Every structure is written in structure tokens, then in C-alpha cells.
């Protein structure tokens, strides 16, 4: 099956009983057993639910993985990876340009549980190699990164992980499997906030994992059931509904991102544009090699810093000032005080998340409307 066909059909055969072409929403917490010890494969919906299972099978197919797992949020999925696979004294090497909530989970939760974490330059595999220790069990990378859209070499990290008998987890939220399939490049675990492009309509919070090996899957699945942060059947169904149109949406997001990035690149009020589709982006060649496209996220730096940003956000009409990304509507966000507020200021500035930085999620509206909106908002 080709990718676009999997989006519609993977995990979602017509319902055997009624022929319903959509998977029913199995709104139930428990299942009748025919006799003691004789269930029909379903016992209790924390452990398993058919609507959730359809979503889990779907993400596995999309990511060229064997196994899929669904969670109540992206961070719940991340927690299950760390909690299910690591123990006190284990070491994680993570890229330094990360979603703020991932950083917070590492620093404010798992460090207290005795996990050791160090950070490497997301753009430089040698920096990951140097950070490896004897107790390193996991490499964690996000590519393209949030919010600076730098590109990490997945093949190179997979090699480093293998050599050190560690696992490689890749947060594929920004690219989605439409543009990038890290397991095909050597990764072991794929992490998604399905709240973003997979759900695609800014109406549901969710997280997904795609996992290559059985042993890893079983450990994380054990944690999923033991800790219990599963999505309800409605949320699983909404996410499946979103996924069906992923290919048409991602093309439209990317089209608009190119229009927006091109416009911003020539603008006097803008000092820097971050979009991997631009030839001037330092990760462009690597992105062209490991991805099938460049996605819908564009960040840029305003010359006028915080004051310019305040005026810019006030004037926007089509873009909405909001956290999150990946929905059909265009969003604009101010990472310094929003998505990345959890990172201490010094650390934030060191990473390039300045007071002039703006992150855009290009929606699927008409590109002229988006460019005109930016044009108006950038008149100071």
C-alpha cells in the first residue's frame, strides 16, 4: 500500500458486524466475558480499546514500524518512553533545540527520578558522539526542531546509538510521516504530538508512538497500561479522522510555508528567516536528503525585538496568536514567553530563542491572504 492509501485504510477495515466504513467509537470502559478466563480479546479500556487500536495500527503503518501506541498527549507518550525503558542512573543524550515541554519533563520530572540528561548540538552529530557515556541508554532528537527548524542527521545518530547499544528516539511531530519516516533511517522509536499535524484541526490533544522492536514495544506497552495515560475512544477517532487528510493538508501547509518564507526573506523588518526549504538554511541539503519535503513551520526574527513583536501580533488578522501548530488555521506564536517559557532565559538566549523570534504555523488558507496579513502586521 502506498502512503496516501495507508492514511485512509491502515488499521481501519470496514466494521465486520455492520459494514460501517468508519471504525465505530467504542465508548465503553469494559467488555463482557463469556466465562471465567474467556474474554474476546478485550478486557478493560485502559488496557485496550478497539478504536484506540485502529489508531495504533494506523500510526505503525504510516511510520514503517511494527508497533504503535496511543496516549492522552504527546508528553504522556514521551513519559511512557522514559518511564518504560529507563531506570535511575541511566543517561540520556538529547538535542539542545527541543519543545519546551520536553525540556521541562527531562529537567523537572525525570532528573528528580535519578535520570541523567545531557544536551548536544542538534545540528552536529559529533556533539552527540562526544556526549555518550557508558550508561547512555537513549538518544533523543527532534527534527526539524522547535522553534528554530534546525535539522538533525538521523542516520548519523542511529549509527552512534547502535555502536553504544543505546536506542534512538525521534520526535517527528513537525515533519509527520508524510515528509519523514525516521525508522527507515535507523531510528527505534518515533514520538508524535498528534495534537499537531496528525490530528490537524486543533480540536484534540493526543500522543502517538511508533516502535520498531518487540522488546521495546512490550516495555512501553507495559508502562502504558501500568501508568494509564491513554486517550479516550472519541479522541482516538477524531485523530484517525484527521489523519485521513494528512497528505492533502501537508502539501497545502508546505505551499503556504514557502510563500510566507519567501515573503519574509525579502522584508526590511526581518533579520533572519528559519525555513529548511530555503537554500540559505544551513540544514537545507540534509533536509533534502532525509525528508520528502520541508513542512509548514516558519520562524523568523524581528529586527525590533520585543516591541516590534508586540505591535506585529496586535495587527495580525488571519494568523491567530496562540500556542500549538499544525492545524488548518494559521497560528503565530511568541516562543520566548509561550512555548519555551519553561526554559531559563540564559539557556533560551544561548539557544537562539530571542525576544524578536516569532514562530508561524502556516495553515491551509489562501497564501495571498497569509502574505497580505504579514505585510500589514510588519508595517511599524
Ligand X SMILES: *Cc1c(COP(=O)(O)O)cnc(C)c1O
Residues tagged active-site: 46, 99, 171, 196
Applying CB under 6 A, does 342 fall inside the site for ligand X?
Answer: no
Applying CB under 6 A, does 75 fall inside the site for ligand X?
Answer: yes
CB closer to ligand X, 204 vs 219? 204
Applying CB under 6 A, does 331 fall inside the site for ligand X?
Answer: no
Q: Residue 191 Cβ, how far from ligand X at the closest point, in Å?
A: 7
Q: Which of 11, 207, 295, 356 binds ligand X (CB under 6 A)?
A: 207
Q: Which of 51, 150, 173, 202 binds ligand X (CB under 6 A)?
A: 173
Applying CB under 6 A, does 242 fall inside the site for ligand X?
Answer: no
CB closer to ligand X, 101 vs 186? 101
Q: Residue 169 Cβ, how far from ligand X at the closest point, in Å?
A: 11
Q: Which of 45, 79, 102, 202 binds ligand X (CB under 6 A)?
A: 102
Size of the site for ligand X (CB under 6 A): 16
Q: Residue 199 Cβ, how far from ligand X at the closest point, in Å?
A: 9
Applying CB under 6 A, does 195 fall inside the site for ligand X?
Answer: yes
Q: Which of 54, 65, 92, 99 binds ligand X (CB under 6 A)?
A: 99
User: Per CB under 6 A, which region of 2-10, 11-19, 69-77, 285-293 contacts ligand X?
Assistant: 69-77
Q: What is the C-alpha end-to-end distance of the chain, expressed in Å?
A: 51
Applying CB under 6 A, does 305 fall inside the site for ligand X?
Answer: no
Per-residue mark of binding to ligand X, 131-170 (x: CB under 6 A): -----------x---x------------------------
Exposure string of 185-204, with b = 16+ CB inside 10 Å and e = fewer, is bbbbbbbbbbbbbbbbebeb
Applying CB under 6 A, does 340 fall inside the site for ligand X?
Answer: no
Q: Residue 206 Cβ, how far from ligand X at the closest point, in Å?
A: 6
Q: Which of 48, 101, 305, 352 binds ligand X (CB under 6 A)?
A: 101
Grid coordinates given for 115: 535520570
User: Per CB under 6 A, which region of 42-50, 68-76, 225-233, 351-359 contacts ligand X?
Assistant: 68-76
Q: Residue 99 Cβ, how far from ligand X at the closest point, in Å?
A: 4
Q: Residue 119 Cβ, how far from ligand X at the closest point, in Å?
A: 16
Q: Which residue is nearest to ligand X (CB)?
A: 74
Angstrom distance (rounded) from CA 2 to CA 91: 38
Specify the residue for cell string 501548530. 325
Site of interaction with ligand X (CB under 6 A): 73-75, 99, 101-102, 142, 146, 171, 173-174, 193, 195-196, 205, 207
Amino acid at each position: 500500500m502506498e502512503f496516501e492509501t495507508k492514511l485512509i485504510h491502515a488499521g481501519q477495515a470496514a466494521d465486520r458486524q455492520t459494514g460501517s466504513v468508519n471504525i465505530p467509537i467504542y465508548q465503553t470502559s469494559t467488555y463482557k466475558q463469556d466465562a471465567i478466563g474467556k474474554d474476546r480479546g478485550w478486557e478493560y479500556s485502559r488496557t485496550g480499546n478497539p478504536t484506540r487500536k485502529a489508531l495504533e495500527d494506523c500510526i505503525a503503518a504510516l511510520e514503517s514500524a511494527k508497533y504503535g501506541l496511543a496516549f492522552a498527549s504527546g508528553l504522556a507518550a514521551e513519559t511512557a518512553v522514559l518511564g518504560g525503558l529507563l531506570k535511575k542512573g541511566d543517561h540520556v543524550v538529547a538535542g539542545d533545540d527541543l519543545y519546551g515541554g520536553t525540556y521541562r519533563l527531562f529537567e523537572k520530572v525525570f532528573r528528580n527520578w535519578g535520570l541523567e540528561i545531557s544536551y548536544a548540538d542538534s545540528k552536529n552529530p559529533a556533539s552527540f558522539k562526544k556526549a555518550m557515556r557508558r550508561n547512555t541508554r537513549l538518544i533523543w532528537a527532534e527534527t526539524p526542531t522547535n522553534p528554530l527548524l534546525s535539522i538533525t542527521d538521523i542516520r548519523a545518530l542511529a549509527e552512534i546509538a547502535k555502536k553504544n547499544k543505546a536506542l534512538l528516539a525521534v520526535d517527528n511531530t513537525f515533519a509527520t510521516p508524510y515528509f519523514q519516516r525516521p525508522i527507515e533511517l535507523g531510528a527505534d522509536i518515533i514520538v508524535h504530538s498528534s495534537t499537531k499535524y496528525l490530528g490537524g484541526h486543533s480540536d484534540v490533544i493526543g500522543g502517538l508512538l511508533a516502535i520498531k522492536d518487540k522488546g521495546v514495544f512490550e516495555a512501553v506497552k507495559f508502562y502504558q497500561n501500568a501508568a494509564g495515560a491513554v486517550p479516550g475512544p472519541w479522541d482516538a477517532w477524531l485523530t484517525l479522522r484527521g489523519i485521513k487528510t494528512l497528505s492533502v493538508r501537508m502539501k497545502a501547509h508546505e505551499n503556504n510555508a514557502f510563500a510566507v518564507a519567501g515573503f519574509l526573506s525579502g522584508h526590511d523588518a526581518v533579520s533572519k528567516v528559519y525555513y529548511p526549504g530555503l537554500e540559505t538554511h544551513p540544514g537545507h541539503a540534509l533536509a533534502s536528503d532525509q525528508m520528502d519535503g520541508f513542512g509548514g513551520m516558519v520562524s523568523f526574527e524581528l529586527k525590533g525585538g520585543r516591541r516590534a513583536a508586540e505591535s506585529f501580533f496586535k495587527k495580525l488578522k488571519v494568523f491567530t496568536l496562540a500556542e500549538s501548530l499544525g492545524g488548518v488555521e494559521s497560528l503565530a506564536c511568541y516562543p520566548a514567553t509561550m512555548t519555551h517559557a519553561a526554559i531559563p532565559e540564559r539557556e533560551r538566549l544561548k539557544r537562539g530563542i530571542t525576544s524578536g523570534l516569532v514562530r508561524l504555523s502556516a495553515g491551509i488558507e489562501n497564501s495571498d491572504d497569509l502574505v497580505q496579513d504579514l505585510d500589514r502586521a510588519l508595517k511599524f
